[in-house]
Amino acid sequence: MAAHAEGDGSRWVKWGLTALVGLPLLCGGCGLMGFLYVRSESPYEDAIARTTGHRKVIRALGDPVNADFLFKGQMRSKGNDGIATMEIGLSGSKQDGTLYVKGVQTSGVWGFSTLKVVASDGTVINVVGD
């Protein structure tokens, strides 16, 4: 009977270790997939494209202007309508900056009320309307 009990114990240890390692990996993977989904559904890519190619942003930050992969922000949507606010780090050959984004989605199309870059030296560039 002792041999049978040891076999049951090692099986529980194996399942316990699998759960301890597998559960965080599963949760982390789901979190990453959720982040990538929110990023692809938000105006992130359009905001970056409009900002990194803007002549005043390039002049202030230095060519090339690159955006951070991660960003702070929130997004709420209902059907084809939504709102998003984001802060995205930017870096150029001269200095860094932050892109502030406020976007509104109407009938599936994103528009911006704010696309503002604040450089490390305090320079402010409004990309919307320029």
Structural contact between residues 103 and 83, judged by C-beta atoms closer than 8 angstroms: yes
Asked, for residue 28, whether it belongs to a domain, the answer is no
Each residue's pLDDT tens digit, 99-113: 999 999 998 888 999
Asked, for residue 118, whether it belongs to a domain, the answer is yes
Asked, for residue 20, whether it belongs to a domain, the answer is no
pTM over 0.85: no
Asked, for residue 114, whether it belongs to a domain, the answer is yes
Each residue's pLDDT tens digit, 62-71: 999 999 988 9
Each residue's pLDDT tens digit, 8-60: 556 666 666 666 666 665 555 544 444 444 444 568 988 999 999 999 999 99
Asked, for residue 70, whether it belongs to a domain, the answer is yes
CA pair distance 50, 41, nearest whole angstrom: 17
Q: How many domains does the chain have?
A: 1
> What integer pLDDT is reported at residue 40 of this predicted model?
47
6: left (phi over 0), alpha (psi -120 to 50) or beta: alpha
Asked, for residue 23, whether it belongs to a domain, the answer is no
At residue 121 the predicted structure's pLDDT band, cuts being 50, 70 and 90, is very high
CA pair distance 95, 72, nearest whole angstrom: 20
Asked, for residue 46, whether it belongs to a domain, the answer is yes
Asked, for residue 120, whether it belongs to a domain, the answer is yes
Closest CA to 91 of 116, 69, 108: 69
CA pair distance 116, 87, nearest whole angstrom: 10
Domain enclosing residue 86, as ranges:
42-126
